[in-house]
Structure 1
């Protein structure tokens, strides 16, 4: 299976995060190494608009056959459009038709080759339209509220107060793994009735978006 690592250069939450050094190694290197440790990944393509990220990616073993155009690297660009551009561009350059692929975001340094392989096995076994990695939510989702600019609280869900033990477990997508059939992305969706969740632990699910996230990842690595 072909893997795509999407890594644009214009991060606002933590500038330069994709190549920021985490325990002496660029953040993106952890994802490249995880993909290279997978027995199912046949090619690893880095999709970026940034020449510096491209150079680091190549150094660690990713392919960068082209740079992503600027309109697909803005804050308003949709991720699925960047994925479709990448596989369509490969077809244009090589004549290779890609009908399914895995996306590995570079902000998940604790996702390893085993996670990738298990999710691909699920995708193949279930003949899924998509497999997306999830993590169990610690608190019941019904506890969540809206809070307006004045600090006033309003309900999202019903007001019945129940014990935590009475609530059904909920899960959130952790951003580490997305496996898609191209056909569902062409319909503008990630989920269908044939989508499955690959559940990961909280530590494996850490997604770096802010400096605080990065510092927490540094702390965890120091304890491993």
Structure 2
């Protein structure tokens, strides 16, 4: 296996319990990322789901993904994603060259995104690549109960803001060696700019899920 996809999906969500098995258009949330990986089988040699949850494991196997049982100490609220990825790699007999991270909480992705991202990853000889989107918000900090503008001056037009970008979570590609060093986004990672409504979906609450359902039906 040269390139694998890893979908980390623990069962202990606090703000939206059971979110990874909730049905989005009749399909469990976790399955949307599995199906996306399967459609891109010309790039991805195998799909792995890392989970500590029996129900998620059952669904993953039903959708023909391979499952790596995640130990409890790697499934806590404050455990970083990279440790789950590292555990998957350490569980495999043969180490892949490249890992594509697909987060189940980002179930909606532009159809050709992975193909385009992987071609760029190879063309630029990247060690890691991740997707970003420009923020058009006027941002600031609160210090001593006062709002301090960060990326604008009061009265400045939104279209004149200094360009700032956020990590949208749609996908990540990196060398497996980086993950073993507990890194996903390296210092010289390539930021792939994506301007798409799907970039605003990251399911953490019931309202996030409702928004994802709305966008899914609108773009179906």
Q: Using the alignment, how far apart are the partners of 2:18 and 2:153 within structure 1?
A: 45
TM-score (structure 1 length as normaliser): 0.87
The SS at the match of 2:170 is: strand
Unmatched segments (≥5 aa) in structure 2: none
Pairwise CA distance, 1:129: 1.5
Match of 2:49 among 36, 42, 46: 46
Unmatched segments (≥5 aa) in structure 1: none
Aligned pair count reads 214
8 Å contact kept, 1:7–1:48: yes
Match of 1:182 among 150, 171, 176: 176
Give CA deviations for 1:177-196 in whole Å, capped at 9, x if unaligned: 01111333344433334311
Q: Residue 99 of structure 1 aligns with which residue?
A: 97
8 Å contact kept, 1:36–1:113: no
Match of 2:165 among 163, 171, 179: 171
Q: Residue 148 of structure 2 aligns with which residue?
A: 155
Q: Using the alignment, how far apart are the partners of 1:106 and 1:9 within structure 2?
A: 12
8 Å contact kept, 1:9–1:49: yes
Pairwise CA distance, 1:61: 1.8
8 Å contact kept, 1:34–1:112: no
Q: Using the alignment, how far apart are the partners of 1:198 and 1:158 within structure 2?
A: 22
Q: Residue 196 of structure 1 aligns with which residue?
A: 190
Give CA deviations for 1:36-78 in whole Å, capped at 9, x if unaligned: 11120110001111111010011112111x3100011001212
Q: Residue 35 of structure 1 aligns with which residue?
A: 37
Structure 1's consecutive aligned runs of 4 or more residues displaced over 6 angstroms after TM superposition are none
Over the aligned positions, Cα root-mean-square deviation in angstroms equals 2.1
Alignment of 1:44-193 (within 5 A): 44-64=47-67, 66-90=68-92, 94=93, 96-139=94-137, 143-147=138-142, 152-155=145-148, 157=150, 160-161=153-154, 162-193=156-187
TM-score (structure 2 length as normaliser): 0.88
Q: Using the alignment, how far apart are the partners of 2:96 and 2:184 within structure 1?
A: 17
8 Å contact kept, 1:145–1:153: no
Q: Residue 213 of structure 2 aligns with which residue?
A: 218
Give CA deviations for 1:84-125 in whole Å, capped at 9, x if unaligned: 1110111xxx2x022321110011121155211111111111
| More moved, 197-206 vs 79-88 | 197-206
